[in-house]
């Protein structure tokens, strides 16, 4: 009696496996979402978030240091949810949870079962690099979704033979470029992978070229903006390289940092991912993505990188490596290891998490990091205080605006309307723009990044509050210079501790002097 029914058992078993896998992945994604929603309650606005808030009030097709999408997203958040910290950081948290699910989908598309999908998703959950980036409203929180979304579509094209998916690929790639220019590197890696594999035959498909045309059209407004403004992003990058601001990393140091920030216990996973694409028959159809990963990593390492530039590519290797290890651990004798690895990832991830995401108050974090003798890697050469830069840059901004307001409001009422507030960087200017209205301050001016393009706002230079200026420099260009205050904060970056000056009588009209304040670095 049981034999006739047995053929029906396998589909039912497969459905149960899919349901339980989906439930587990949704649970992991929910954990990541809740963690990000909880974090940061003892901290403030990140310096870049203040800048993006300013950019969202000056919507344009481009900016000196980024494409336009992050400003548009920030504008949308402001319109829908407001400007509170939980509102600003809700979409990055959702993006992080979505990356967990997308990584599991990649593992499934590569042939992975329930264990592979859960292992890959867990790797994303515990990776300190993703914990850090997904906690702030920056373009970096959304970048992995564009890269891995394109990777998933490419696998679907290879697997299903459906060329129309190139249209969706083009949309996602075009939006990815409008989010961050590094999408062009990954896109070039995909092209290189196509050329180096039998998948090069798809280059003859009109659907691929239509997808490319869609991506180009989506990028075109920003490209035209760059042409009109003489490609300021390239000038900016050249200035950064000359200044030596970024922490120098040779290939060995770079990949050592990648191992640490992707969590050391994921190293066997992403090494197995490379093996999957280049050393297994199952990985051969997707080898184009293996080459894309190698190409992208080589370009980024060559360009003297920041460590997080390669983060968006790692979920691909997590997914592929999880497929390899699922097969390796399928023997009943390996059942212990099969359970121990995800458990170890979660346990050690919990220990490392406070170093990557601000779940502890500052005082507790300092004690915790000192006890472990660990901390996040430095990406810039600035001198540090008691907190790492990614935490320190969330302190002091409102206090700075309040200090400036005391100086501004002490001026005679007739002088205030002609008094400009000049910030040396977009953090200072962005803080004045965001917190200043509460204290009766006008918008700031600055020569830093896109503030330079927004100009001097009709100020003449007759009266100016200057943050962090050098007195000897100011005395050369103003008739009168007076130190009127000092700002510092115990947790902010040391270079954000500075004197405040009140200056009168710029010796040249500000509109004519403005080109000299340009600071793109």
Claim to verify: residue 121 and residue 270 sit in the same structural domain: yes
Claim to verify: residue 318 and residue 448 sit in the same structural domain: no
Claim to verify: residue 408 and residue 271 sit in the same structural domain: no
CA distance 111 to 327: 10
Domain boundary, last residue among 302, 335, 355: 355
Q: Is the pLDDT of residue 73 over 70?
A: yes
Percent of the chain residues past pLDDT 70, beyond the cut: 96
Residue 204 lies in a domain: yes
What SS3 state is found at 448?
A: strand
* Chain segment 309-341, per-residue pLDDT in tens: 999 999 999 999 999 999 999 888 888 888 999
**Placement of tokens 């330079």 in the chain:** 452
| Contact residues for 133 (Cβ-Cβ < 8 A; gap 6+) | 92, 96, 140, 141, 308, 311
Claim to verify: residue 444 and residue 347 sit in the same structural domain: no
pLDDT band at 303 (very low <50, low <70, confident <90, very high): confident
Residue 392 lies in a domain: no
Q: 314-328 and 114-126 helices cross at what angle (nearest 10)?
A: 140
Residue 382 lies in a domain: no
Claim to verify: residue 216 and residue 94 sit in the same structural domain: yes
pLDDT at 374: 78
Instruction: Return the minimum-mean-pLDDT range out of 287-291, 305-309, 409-413, 453-457.
Output: 305-309
Claim to verify: residue 322 and residue 430 sit in the same structural domain: no
CB 130 within 8 A of CB 299: no
Claim to verify: residue 346 and residue 423 sit in the same structural domain: no
Q: What is the mean pLDDT of residues 294-300?
A: 96
CB 176 within 8 A of CB 146: yes
Domain boundary, last residue among 355, 385, 417: 355
Q: How many domains does the chain have?
A: 2
Residue 116 lies in a domain: yes
Residue 213 lies in a domain: yes
Claim to verify: residue 218 and residue 303 sit in the same structural domain: yes
CA distance 425 to 498: 13
Residue 140 lies in a domain: yes
Claim to verify: residue 314 and residue 454 sit in the same structural domain: no
Claim to verify: residue 121 and residue 42 sit in the same structural domain: yes
Which domain covers residue 479, as residue numbers? 397-517
Residue 5 lies in a domain: no
* Chain segment 149-166, per-residue pLDDT in tens: 999 999 999 999 999 999
Sheet architecture: strand order including 445-446: 445-446, 419-423, 463-467, 498-506, 478-487
CA distance 472 to 481: 9
Domain boundary, last residue among 304, 337, 355: 355
Residue 381 lies in a domain: no
Catalogue the E-assigned strands of 235-376.
Answer: none
Claim to verify: residue 499 and residue 441 sit in the same structural domain: yes
Claim to verify: residue 312 and residue 417 sit in the same structural domain: no
pLDDT at 495: 80
Instruction: Return the minimum-mean-pLDDT range out of 298-312, 405-419, 462-476.
Output: 298-312
pLDDT at 176: 98
| Contact residues for 211 (Cβ-Cβ < 8 A; gap 6+) | 166, 167, 168, 169, 170, 171, 173
């Amino acid at each position: 009696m049981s034999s006739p029914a047995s053929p029906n058992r396998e589909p039912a078993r497969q459905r149960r496996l899919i349901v339980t896998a989906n439930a587990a992945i949704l649970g992991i994604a929910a954990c990541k979402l809740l963690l990000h929603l909880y974090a940061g309650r003892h901290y403030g606005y990140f310096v870049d978030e203040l800048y993006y808030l300013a950019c969202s009030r000056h919507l344009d097709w481009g900016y000196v240091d980024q494409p336009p999408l992050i400003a548009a997203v920030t504008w949308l958040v402001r319109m829908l949810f407001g400007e509170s910290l939980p509102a600003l950081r809700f979409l990055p948290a959702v993006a992080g949870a979505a990356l967990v699910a997308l990584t599991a989908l990649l593992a499934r598309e590569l042939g992975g079962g329930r264990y592979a999908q859960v292992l890959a998703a867990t790797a994303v959950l515990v990776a300190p690099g993703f914990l850090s980036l997904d906690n702030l409203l920056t373009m970096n929180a959304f970048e992995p979704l564009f890269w891995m979304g394109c990777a998933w579509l490419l696998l679907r094209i290879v697997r299903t033979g459906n060329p129309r998916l190139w249209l969706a690929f083009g949309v996602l790639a075009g939006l990815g470029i409008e989010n961050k220019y590094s999408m062009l590197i990954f896109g070039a890696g995909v092209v290189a992978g196509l050329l180096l594999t039998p998948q090069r035959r798809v280059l003859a498909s009109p659907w691929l070229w239509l997808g490319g045309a869609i991506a180009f059209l989506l990028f075109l407004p920003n490209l035209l903006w760059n042409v009109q403004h003489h490609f300021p992003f390239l000038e900016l990058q050249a200035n950064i390289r000359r200044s030596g601001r970024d922490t120098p990393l040779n290939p060995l140091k770079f990949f050592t940092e990648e191992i640490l920030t992707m969590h050391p216990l994921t190293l066997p996973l992403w090494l197995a991912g490379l093996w999957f694409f280049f050393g297994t028959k199952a990985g051969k159809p997707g080898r184009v993505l293996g080459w894309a990963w190698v190409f992208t990593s080589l370009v980024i390492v060559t360009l003297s990188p920041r460590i997080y530039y390669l983060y968006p590519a790692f979920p691909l290797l997590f997914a592929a490596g999880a497929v390899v290890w699922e097969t390796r651990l399928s023997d009943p004798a390996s059942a212990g290891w099969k359970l121990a690895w995800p458990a170890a990832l979660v346990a050690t991830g919990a220990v490392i998490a406070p170093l990557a995401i601000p779940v502890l108050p500052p005082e507790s974090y300092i004690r915790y990091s000192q006890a472990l003798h660990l901390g996040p890697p430095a990406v810039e050469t600035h001198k540090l205080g008691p907190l790492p830069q990614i935490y320190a840059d969330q302190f002091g901004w409102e206090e700075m605006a309040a200090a400036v307001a005391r100086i501004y409001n002490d001026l005679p009422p007739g002088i205030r309307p002609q008094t400009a507030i000049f910030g040396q960087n977009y953090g200072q200017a962005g803080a004045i723009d965001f917190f200043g209205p509460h204290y009766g301050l006008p918008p700031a001016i600055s020569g830093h990044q896109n503030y330079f393009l927004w100009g001097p706002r009709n100020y003449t230079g007759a009266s100016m509050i200057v943050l962090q200026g050098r007195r000897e420099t100011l005395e050369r260009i103003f008739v009168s210079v007076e130190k009127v205050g000092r700002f510092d904060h115990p947790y902010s970056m040391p270079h954000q501790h500075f004197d405040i000056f009140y200056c009168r009588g710029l010796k040249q009209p500000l509109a004519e002097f403005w080109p000299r304040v340009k600071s793109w670095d």
